[in-house]
Amino acid sequence: MKELYAQGDLLIERVSDICGRSIPPATDCAVVLAEGELTGHNHTVFGKLSFFRDDGLARDIPRGLYIGHIAIDAPTARVTHQEHAAIDLPTGTYRVRRQRELDPEDARIVAD
Amino acid sequence: MSRIELARLSAEQVVALSRQHARWEGIRTSTARADRAAANDGVKAAYRAARLAPPDEIIWCEGPLEVARAGAQTGHAVAGENVKALIVDSVLRDVAYAVDAAIGSEVRTQIAGTFRTHPPNQTSAAVIAAVTLRDPLVQERRFQFVRQLMRRLQGGTLPRWMRTSLRDSGFSQHDAPSLGIFQFFHDTCGLKTQTERLTGLIQAATNIGWMLPHSRVCWLVDRHNILRTDDRGRLHSANGPAIAFPDGWSFYAWKGVALPAWMIERPHEITAARIDREPEPVVRRCMIDIMTPEKYIREGDAVPIAEDDTGILWTKSWTTWDSWAAVQVRNGTAEPDGTYRQYFLQVPPTVQSARQAVAWTYGLTELEYMALKQRT
């Protein structure tokens, strides 16, 4: 069963299978997952973790949404944002993606 | 005996390759003033490299409008035939052939990932289309009905030869990065004999916005002084033109869609009624985007068709085949005053429920989104 966490326009999905990929070693760090262009606000994850990108593990995510994977090697890691309450993620591997909106250009497809 | 002079790039050369690539990408989007003297010298050398006499006259223009006026005044007989195929395409082909014979297959692999020409750069393709596919002399007319009339009666006011020249036979700073790899081989790898013929064109290309080379007259255009895109490289500007040249020519765009200037310059004039009257679906959606979906829902006659714990789904239909939808959602976290901020996301009009709409925004199905454990 999937487990999803949403913080504003960011979606974090717990994944069990990373198809035997090797995960970089975890370190105590802070990783900015996404940053607002206008506000400068950001979604940041703090804790003992590693962040990596593997497009092969995101083929089912629509193009442009995939941000990366985080592997947490501690009881919890905290995701923060200036305007949203923090989320504590338990140990595990997660796939992070951003939210999208229908673009005006897509109306060409819809109207056709 | 092997003619290969360069079997593989050294580590230093790989670094230089990446630097050269960055430099040419900078040239592509540069809005700096062109160095006219350097460009003039480069153009003369480029003509000579194609075994042509340098043009009798090099005419500088500050933008597409000025070059169109200058072309219309000069006349085809005076300007001569367009020679872009000779001074650019033909020389480039010869040089590419010579370089290809001098490098090993490993070098081809090393350079393949850096100087890509396919797919074409999205921003450049959009700028070239914006500048060349419309007649600048028609575009400058103030009233739309006059513009449409001119198009119908004359197909534009620019002479046909000049229109063809601008559309199919110009060379711009957006085409220039294709020369970067040859400058790299010339400057860094010692393949001077093979690439020497391109040095004039390279010098011109690094100092112009556009070039319309004819046998007796060569028109050179300054660089655009404004070029704005969004984070996806699409022409976009919420305040002012997305492209502008010093001669006053400008082009307005919203997320890659060309719009009339007033929609960007005077967004307060966009009303729900004007949106509903707009015949072009893509432009209509840009108008809603600029106005904001929230205001459009408040002022227009969009209707709520579904509601659940994720939000409210609003739709508006203009015709049986053209509908619009947005989902109204509430922030998961309360504001300091205890209220919850509402926001609106545009979604495909095919969605049936608010949950399905929100799931779509994350690229999930409605069922997958049921696994949401926490939302803040």
Residues 6+ apart with CB under 8 A from B148: none
Question: Does the beta carbon of B280 lie under 8 angstroms from any beta carbon of chain A?
Answer: no
pLDDT for the residue numbered A80: 95
**Locus of tokens 């995939």:** A66
Predicted ipTM? 0.92
Closest CA to B104 of B10, B202, B196, B186: B10
pLDDT for the residue numbered B70: 87
Tell me the pLDDT band of B135, cut-offs 50, 70 and 90: low
Packed helices B11-29 and B122-132: angle between N→C axes, nearest 10 degrees: 30
Strand duo B311-319 + B322-330: pairing:
antiparallel
Residue B143 has pLDDT above 60, yes or no: no
Which among A6, A65, A105 is the nearest to B332, CB-wise? A6
For chain A, which residues lie within 8 Å of any Cβ of chain B, measuring from their own Cβ? 1-8, 11, 37, 61-62, 64-65, 81, 83-87, 97, 99-108, 110-111
Residue B292 has pLDDT above 80, yes or no: yes
Q: Which of A101, A108, A112 to mutate to test the interface with B (most CBs of B within 10 A)?
A: A101
Ordered per-residue pLDDT tens for chain A, 112 residues: 579 999 999 999 999 877 778 888 999 999 999 988 777 889 999 999 999 999 999 999 998 899 999 999 999 999 999 989 999 999 999 999 999 999 988 865 444 3
Mean pLDDT score, B234-245: 95
Which tokens hold the place of B201? 């064109």
Half-sphere exposure (Cβ direction) of B102: Cα atoms closer than 13 Å: 19
A85, closest residue in chain B (CA to CA): B376
Mean pLDDT rounded to a whole number for chain B:
89
Question: Does the beta carbon of B45 lie under 8 angstroms from any beta carbon of chain A?
Answer: no
Contact A105 B257 (CB under 8 A): yes
A72 close to A91: Cβ distance less than 8 angstroms: yes
Contact B375 A5 (CB under 8 A): yes
Mean pLDDT score, B328-354: 90
Q: How far is A68 from chain B (nearest CA, A)?
A: 14
Mean pLDDT score, B100-111: 91
Residues 6+ apart with CB under 8 A from B153: none
SS3 B363: coil
